[in-house]
Amino acid sequence: MTEYTVFRDNPGIDPALHAWGWEIPIYLFLGGLVAGLMIIAGVRIVASRPRERQAMVCCTIGPLVGLALLSLGMLALFLDLSHKIQVWRLYLTFQPSSPMSWGSWILLLVYPALLANALVHLPETAPALARRVPLLVTISDFLLARSRIVAGIGLANIILGVSLGIYTGILLGSLGARPLWSSAVLGPLFLFSGLSTAATLLHAILIMGMRDEERPAFADFLISSLSRLTEARAPDASIKPALTIADNSFLTIELGLLGLLLLGHLSSTEAHQQAAALLTVGPWAAPFWVFVIILGILVPLFLQTLELRNLIRHTLAPSLLVLLGGLALRFILVGAGQASHWSVLVSN
Amino acid sequence: MMAPFYKFGLFSEEMSLVVAFVTGIGFGFFLERAGFGNARMLAAQFYFRDLRVLKVMFTAIITAMVGLFMLSRLGYVDLSLVYLTPTFLVPQIVGGLILGVGFIIGGYCPGTSCVSAATGRLDGMVYLAGMIGGLVGFAELYPLIEKFTKITALGKVTLPQFTGIPYGVLVFAVVLMALCAFMAAEWAEQKFGGKAPGKGALLEPVLKLTPVRGFALALLGLSFIAAFAGSPYRGHAASIDTRELALSAGTKADHVSCTELADWLIEGRNDFLLVDVRDAKDFAEYHIPGAMNVPLATLSADFAARNEKVVFYSDGGIHSAQAWLLLKALGFKSSYMLFGGLEEWKDTVLFPKTPAANAPTKEQVDFARRAAVAKHFGGTPMEAMPAAAVSTPSAQPKPVPALTPVPAPVVPAPAPANAPAAAPKKRKEGC
Amino acid sequence: MSDPNPHTLAEKPHMNPYWAGLGLGLVLLGSFVVMGRGLGASGAFTTAVATAVHTVAPAHAEGNAFYAEYLGDGSVSPLKDWLVFEVLGLFLGGFLSGALANRLKFTIEKGPRIGNPLRLLMAAFGGALMGIGAKLALGCTSGQALTGGSTLNLGSWAFMCCVFGGAYALAWFVRRAWL
């Protein structure tokens, strides 16, 4: 039996999408980051006592940063839409089989969950603001007095965070026309990449919020102008190793998932193999290996391991590299995915 | 396995970038280890306080030089494939002086400033910014000084070629000179910097074979062998093996088919030179995009570096075959000829014939692809199929040849506007 | 082994110059064997500059023969270049070495008799000269002196002598900056 590739015009197989520019990768990156922030904060809310949480970056500044980043991501997504005025129509229906519909509803729920999360400890995060708006203290006290509500907020953050993180991967996977994206690993991969970027962002915020004399010398210069942001209460530096350990685990899992993604493709159809080859040896290989694997995963793993053992000075560099790697992963997967194709011209 | 691995096609250009990154890590690591991230350490060289720059640089140079010579002599590396920056003597002398002045004023050279910036030195960062400014300035002034940058062009020439001294003897001389310079440097450090030769110095005041001395002796010994080892170039003295030549001429291994070449050109591969051996007039009339013109009569060993992969073509096949034979005899390992020449190119690439309507699907599909290729090169399939039309608006040639019966299609003149310029733009390889 | 205060870990001394030179030489030799080319630095910045100018003013960059040489034929991004990736690695390698030896520090390297503004001004001026000189000479200390030196390239040896000559000739006049 012989198979021929014939020229055809089937939008299900030969998509005529407009090329995705910078907006979608940025949105996916920020979405994953916010998902990670929500999960970490949620776990802390469920697992720790209020007193302990008061000085934890993940429960105080984390949700606020999450709100800001989510808004930026939504802006990027909105910029990418062709019919900007029609956005509201997404919320007139719920299609259980459409990832786009799931996504828009998840995003709608993420905002209140994050906001509630932020409100629990807002007086500790921004004392100056709380003095001017006493209502914030009232809300916070009200919530803290009812541990069930707080636990509910924590659980909601965890569930919505996991959904959002997986959804950013599934969104790509649902486009069947691109072999590179047709893998179930993409969801968990983006989830763990999001978790690692979130942990590292919190770590970076922690370093920046530390008192001047405790702060590593190398970080000092970069952030002296930003340090006023966190004048309120110096975050608890004791959770720094916890964040680094968590980040190392997330990075290791991410590396494993990337391996699974590639192995899965390489043992699949020829179109899948060629799609994976785009990343491993093809036109995306150099940025993939250099920015995602080496700079984004291996080097920060190495540096953070040494930092944990107190063998080298602590710096912001691993955090910046992990964030860079997460961003590069989205850009490369979106770019290479659009270059992958089912009907591969057989070259002689 | 033969080295350089990249030039023998062990990995693709894309993967070479990953190799570049890893190489760079090693480069930066040792520069920083040596203390070159620190401008004071570098500048101390020029006041005879600490001659690290000399020691590190020349140790690196002689290590790589001796290693490269030995590997080439033993036949593991083809030395003629290692890239050489062409020499422009006067611009390089002037450039060297300016660079030296910049070195002592700024405290760094480009490579070391990267390392210093990466370890947080503000002066290194400012230096890099200044260098970018200098590059922009140079580029803007370039039209004025372009002539000057091209004077005294000597081509790719090495010291052994220039002086006539055998390669190995020069290797030995350089190693000897470097080792003497190291000892003089240690003496100078004591005299001007008050730094007595300590542990790890060549002149360390102990009477035993320290590791550093052992290393120096090993280099000296190896280079002494090199002085008598003969030429490191492969097949330099060997005579032409006509039998082998005849054998390889009998196979098709050195042919490149027109469709293959078309694919290479479309992919934008730049790892080969496409050479038109017809005379200049024919070349001006039509040539394959990206080709360079070297008429057969002017062909000699120095028209291209031996490290180039060369594809010849002429009208038919005869002249390109002659050029191919000539270069084979001159020791070019990778020279190819376009099978069928320009005539075949026109028939199969520029003006492919439409298959019969009842031809099998495979043939139809094949044709659709070839039609797209033809459009790319400004030709036209003999009967265009609408389904296969690939929209390349800018590539449409002005005179679309009429649908004449079969032979003698009009050659689209001149080469289409979007085709690569006549000389293939090889990216700069040097620093 | 572990220091209670990781922010005050002591700087480690520099490597013996001969061993550092051996390491550097082996990296260079590896580059010859694997790639058939040596090391470089300034070329990457030229590519970056050419790409930046091309992004801002495409017509200007294409009209300039110098930029055009670094832009390639446009089939791939000019930044996908051997030297660009090598210099990225150079930054990382320097950083890693500095991190492992606890030499990471925001500071300005200079002699005790010169102020910061003047030192930075000199750095910028020296850098600009270096940019011009490297382009005239078709390479810098890495691309010409190291690489060309070990392949016994005629132009590189002439260049190397002139670099040392130029620096020694001027050293006395700028001694306040360093000593």
Mean pLDDT value of segment A158-186: 84
0.95 exceeded by the pTM? no
Instruction: Decide if pLDDT at A316 tops 70.
Output: yes
pLDDT in tens, B342-387: 888 888 888 777 777 777 777 777 777 777 777 777 777 665 444 4
Neighbours of B5 (CB within 10 A): 17
Share of chain A above pLDDT 90, in %: 28
- The answer to whether the Cβ–Cβ distance between A315 and C99 falls below 8 Å is yes
Per-residue tokens: A318: 């691993």
**What pLDDT is stored for residue B300 in this prediction?**
66
Q: How far, in Å, CA of A139 to CA of A143, rounded?
A: 6
Return the residue of C nearest to A286 by Cα.
C80
Note the pLDDT tens digit of each residue in B384-420.
Answer: 444 444 444 444 444 444 443 444 344 444 444 343 3
Task: For the beta carbon of residue A216, count every other beta carbon within 10 angstroms.
Answer: 16
> C2 vs chain B: nearest CA distance in angstroms?
22
Whether the pLDDT of residue A98 is over 80: the answer is: no
Residue to mutate among C3, C5, C7, with most A CBs inside 10 A, is C7
Angstroms from A303 CA to nearest CA on chain C: 8
* B406 compared with B282, residue with greater pLDDT: B282
- Could you state, in order of their start, the residue ranges of all structural domains in chain B? 244-426
Give the three-state DSSP class for B273: strand
C-alpha B94/C-alpha B89 separation (Å) is 9
Number of H helices and E strands in chain B, helices first, is: 15, 7
Euclidean distance between CA atoms B415 and A314, whole angstroms: 60
Go through the domains of chain A in sequence order and give each one's CATH number.
23-339 (1.20.1630.10)
Q: Is the pLDDT of residue C68 over 50?
A: yes
pLDDT beyond 60 at B227:
yes
Task: Give A320→chain C minimum CA distance, Å.
Answer: 13
Contact at CB, B23 and C21, closer than 8 angstroms:
no
Instruction: Report the pLDDT value the prediction gives residue C123, as an integer from 0 to 100.
Output: 94
Does residue B236 surpass a pLDDT of 80?
no
Q: Please report which confidence band the pLDDT of residue C21 belongs to, taking 50, 70 and 90 as the band edges.
A: very high
More confident residue, B217 or B149: B217
Compute the average pLDDT of residues A32-50: 90
- Contacting C residues, span 133-152, partner chain B, CB-CB under 8 Å: 133-152
Q: Residue A234 pLDDT more than 60?
A: no
CB contact under 8 A, A7 and B21: no
Distance from CA of C10 to the nearest CA of B (A): 15
Residue in B47, B96, B118 nearest the CB of C95: B118
pLDDT band at A231 (very low <50, low <70, confident <90, very high): very low
- Rounded Cα distance between B279 and B294, Å, is 8
Does residue C75 surpass a pLDDT of 90?
no
Instruction: Specify the pLDDT at position B198.
Output: 83
User: Average of pLDDT values for C109-135?
Assistant: 92
Least confident of A28-42, A167-181, B181-195, B382-396: B382-396
Contact assignment for B160 to C152 by CB distance below 8 Å = yes
CA distance C159 to C164: 9
Q: Which residues of A touch C1 (CB under 8 A)?
A: 309, 311
Q: What CATH number matches the domain at B244-426, 3.30.360.10, 3.30.160.150, 3.40.250.10, 3.30.420.40?
A: 3.40.250.10
Residue of C nearest to A214 (CA): C7
DSSP-assigned letters across all residues of chain C: ---S-GGGPPPPPPPPHHHHHHHHHHHHHHHHHHHSS---SHHHHHHHHHHHHHHH-HHHHHH-HHHHHHHTTSSS-TTS-HHHHHHHHHHHHHHHHHHHTT----B----TTS-HHHHHHHHHHHHHHHHHHHHHTTS-IIIIIIIIHHTTBHHHHHHHHHHHHHHHHHHGGGHHHH-
Alpha-carbon torsion A252, A258, A262, A268, what sign? Answer: positive
Q: How confident is the model at residue B306 (pLDDT cuts 50, 70, 90)?
A: low
Its ipTM equals 0.94
C19 has a pLDDT exceeding 80? yes
Calculate ∠ Cα C105-C108-C111, nearest 5°: 130
* Residue B255 phi, psi (nearest 5): -95, 150
User: What does C99-122 look like in DSSP terms, one character per residue?
Assistant: HHTT----B----TTS-HHHHHHH
> At a CB cut-off of 8 Å and minimum separation 6, what does C32 contact?
B3, B4, B64, B68, B77, B82, C38, C150, C151
**pLDDT band with cut points at 50, 70 and 90 for residue A13:** low
* B421 confidence band (pLDDT: 50, 70, 90): very low
